[in-house]
Chain A
Amino acid sequence: MSKESTYIPRNGFAKWFDQRLPLPRMLHDNISAFPTPRNLNYWYTFGGILTFCLVTQILTGIVLAMHYTADAGLAFASVEHIMRNVNYGWLIRYIHAVGASMFFLAVYVHMFRGLYYGSYKAPREILWILGVIIYLLMVITAFMGYVLPWGQMSFWGATVITNLFSVIPVVGTTITEWLWGGFAVDNATLKRFFSLHYLMPFMIFGVVILHIWALHVTGNNNPVGISVKDKQDTVPFAPYYTVKDALSLVCFLILFVWFIFFNPNILGHTDNYIMADPLVTPAHIVPEWYLLPFYAILRAIPSKLGGVLVMGAAIAVLFIVPWLDTSKVRSATFRPLYKQFYWIFLVNCVALGYLGSQNPEGLFLVASRICTAYYFIHFLIVMPVLGLVEKPRPIPESITKAVLEKLEIKNSKEEAKA
């Protein structure tokens, strides 16, 4: 948006329109002609996939809201009404429910991509922070959405999470009752969660626009992590990346469709098909899979207040990642040590997710404490120290050089084979 425009109006009307509202000019400069590094791999297609996920969730959500009833006595039955009596209601609900999981799957790929290629480093700090804000909003929205069917997990999940606020000294109980709109999770809670669950996706949409704006100011990072130097380093977004993003999206949709049509309930908890009952506590209260790592962190800490603070810190630490990483080199490709720690960190996060699904006792508790500690060690110690002690591998002169070098190696290998 700060670059010079390459838009040329094709006819008189386009020129007339451009002088009054340069919308086609903006679309041309920011989509069709937007200069994009020529070396982006498929991990870079998840931004497009995430946009698709957000739009899908909003559209299916609007239709579901037409048939859903936000009332503690009627919500569960209204969901079954959608599943049985509304035309294709089952399809729309399964898209929405599976869609939430797919959204998180994509956002985790997107975030880990950013961590690998150092996409948070200058000048992209704001871009990264906006991304963390989007993720945080997603977590809150997904949590509230899970409450709406008013099943057992909805009710007890809401009870556990809202109760976390009660540990705040002095005002904790007041805040919790204010959130509930009463003295327990009840009808008033369900109604406000529905209202906010409808509102927040539009807030996410707003931050996504800022996220894309920030992206278009600095331009994309890329797998070699060096800045674009001249025109040779880039290709116009269309058709190069429109076709690449589309191919990646369709492959992602195949996985999406697998869950919608053949495995729609496996990502949810079966207890949520039992209507909420404040008198019966489920044997295990667990959140959806995408929040399990944080749940593990929460329960790893012996004190309730401590657990809440450390869990909050696990997300808060993401905001300062751009300043924790002291290395000048962006891409892990040229950072032999960071690369190893990156994979250990990834496995650690998956392990935390698994531990979040288990009862915090015995070996599981010990393991979740170790993994929680390592989560913070990675950000607070490994990241700052590595930048100082690590000797990066030689970095290519330019993106184009890197592409051509790689091509040469590939060709010579093929020749050797032949």
Chain B
Amino acid sequence: MKNYAHFKIFFLVFTFLSFYLVTTDTHAAAGEQKRVEKHEWTFSGVFGHYDNAQLQRGFQVYKEVCSSCHSMNYVYFRNLAEEGGPGFTPEEVKVIASEYTVIDGPDDFGEMFEREGKASDNFPSPYSNINEARASNGGAYPPDFSVLAKARSTERGFPWWFVDLFTGYQEQGVDYIYSLLNGYKEVPEDFKLQDGMHYNEYYPGNQIAMGQPIYDDSVEYADGTNATIKQMAEDVSAFMMWAAEPKLEIRKKMGFKVAIFLFVLAGLLYYSKKKIWSRIEH
């Protein structure tokens, strides 16, 4: 009997180890693209929550820098005042929305017209269609921000993809975006960069169409925070995570309550089961 157990353990360890060796080997060979580091976020983990001030700063970066090329179609101004968001008041949101111009219509005469944005509007796109966006950006389409933080990932490799299942690591996307914004470097001498492309350590293939979007002091933060590249990259990444997953905070809070309920229920059922089964030998 004991021999079986040894055999099984040996077999499992052997299999895991060979997986690990095989996968790490190929990653080393792939080389070029720098591996994204895990960053500390307030919204990671079981008790994760957004930092209001950070989201407001991130919104400022989006508004003043990113939004000139990147749309955010599924996000509405009203979302800015909702629970678990940047924490603007409804009045502030009205003011923010009114700074945008929105095309509405047709009116009673069949004409489209421009008006001030309202809280119930979504963020207007900088371009009227994809073709215009491509034409203005050398053929590359600046992706929509709404779910971008969930649409990007980092190669984790074995055994991390397995460990991630039980640590709840869901920040691959923001980690990548944060790294990317910090990843603009001088072109290495032996590297052939195509026309109109930019060198980035973290982008697959190291050639990205987007030029470095933020430099030190690109924005002047309303709350007086020192606007370094790192700071802005962190803030706007956090903002993008919120845009992609606006219910994250509500979700994690509810999950904690549900889990406690289930643990208590499991305990009660455990003792009920014990009591009922004590009636017969088993």
Q: Does B281 contact A (CB under 8 A)?
A: yes
Q: How far is the CB of B170 from chain A (nearest CB, A)?
A: 6
Interface contact B150-A347, CB-CB below 8 Å: no
CB neighbors of B among A194-223 (8 A): none
Interface contact A254-B168, CB-CB below 8 Å: no
Report the contact-size class of chain B (Cβ under 8 Å from the partner).
35 or more
Q: Does A25 contact B (CB under 8 A)?
A: no
Interface contact B276-A347, CB-CB below 8 Å: no
Q: Which residues of chain B come closer than 8 Å to A358, judged between CB atoms?
A: 23
What mask results when residues 158 to 175 of chain B are scored 1 for a CB within 8 Å of chain A, else 0? Answer: 100000110011101100
Interface contact A261-B146, CB-CB below 8 Å: no
Q: Does A323 contact B (CB under 8 A)?
A: no
Of A39, A84, A354, which contacts B246 at CB under 8 A? A84
Can you report 28 A-B residue pairs in the complex whose CB atoms are below 8 A from each other? A38-B280, A77-B74, A80-B146, A80-B147, A81-B74, A83-B247, A90-B247, A91-B251, A240-B276, A243-B272, A247-B272, A250-B269, A258-B259, A262-B252, A263-B164, A263-B170, A264-B170, A270-B173, A271-B151, A273-B147, A273-B151, A283-B204, A343-B11, A347-B12, A347-B15, A354-B19, A403-B281, A404-B281
Q: Which residues of chain A come closer than 8 Å to B109, judged between CB atoms?
A: none
A-to-B contact residues, CB < 8 Å? 38-39, 77, 80-81, 83-84, 90-91, 94, 235, 239-240, 243-244, 246-247, 250-251, 253-254, 257-258, 260-266, 270-271, 273-274, 283, 339-340, 343-344, 347, 350-351, 354, 358, 363-364, 403-404, 407
Interface contact A247-B247, CB-CB below 8 Å: no
Interface contact A84-B79, CB-CB below 8 Å: yes
Q: How far is the CB of A137 from chain B (nearest CB, A)?
A: 27
Q: Which residues of chain B come closer than 8 Å to A274, judged between CB atoms?
A: 143, 151
The CA-CA distance from A262 to B259 in the complex, in Å, is 11
Interface contact A253-B252, CB-CB below 8 Å: no
Interface contact B269-A253, CB-CB below 8 Å: no
The CA-CA distance from A260 to B254 in the complex, in Å, is 11
Q: How far is the CB of B145 from chain A (nearest CB, A)?
A: 12
Q: Which residues of chain A come closer than 8 Å to B277, judged between CB atoms?
A: 240, 243-244
The CA-CA distance from A354 to B172 in the complex, in Å, is 20
Q: How far is the CB of B276 from chain A (nearest CB, A)?
A: 5
Q: Which residues of chain B come closer than 8 Å to A243, judged between CB atoms?
A: 269, 272-273, 276-277
Q: Which residues of chain A come closer than 8 Å to B204, judged between CB atoms?
A: 283
The CA-CA distance from A327 to B144 in the complex, in Å, is 60
Of B15, B153, B170, B262, which contacts A257 at CB under 8 A? B262
The CA-CA distance from A246 to B254 in the complex, in Å, is 23
B255 — nearest CB in chain A belongs to which residue? Answer: A261
Interface contact B262-A250, CB-CB below 8 Å: yes
The CA-CA distance from A403 to B259 in the complex, in Å, is 35
The CA-CA distance from A5 to B72 in the complex, in Å, is 65
Q: Which residues of chain A come closer than 8 Å to B273, judged between CB atoms?
A: 243-244, 247
Q: How far is the CB of A383 from chain B (nearest CB, A)?
A: 20
Q: Which residues of chain A come closer than 8 Å to B165, judged between CB atoms?
A: 263, 266
Q: Does B191 contact A (CB under 8 A)?
A: no
Q: A38-B280, A240-B276, A273-B150 are in contact. Are A363 and B74 (CB under 8 A)?
A: no
Interface contact B269-A247, CB-CB below 8 Å: yes
Q: Which residues of chain A come closer than 8 Å to B280, judged between CB atoms?
A: 38, 235, 240
CB neighbors of A among B246-262 (8 A): 246-247, 251-252, 254-256, 258-259, 262
B243 — nearest CB in chain A belongs to which residue? Answer: A84
Q: How far is the CB of B234 from chain A (nearest CB, A)?
A: 21
Interface contact B269-A254, CB-CB below 8 Å: no
Q: Which residues of chain B come closer than 8 Å to A404, judged between CB atoms?
A: 281
Of A253, A263, A351, which contacts B168 at CB under 8 A? A263
Q: Which residues of chain B come closer than 8 Å to A84, judged between CB atoms?
A: 74-75, 79, 246-247
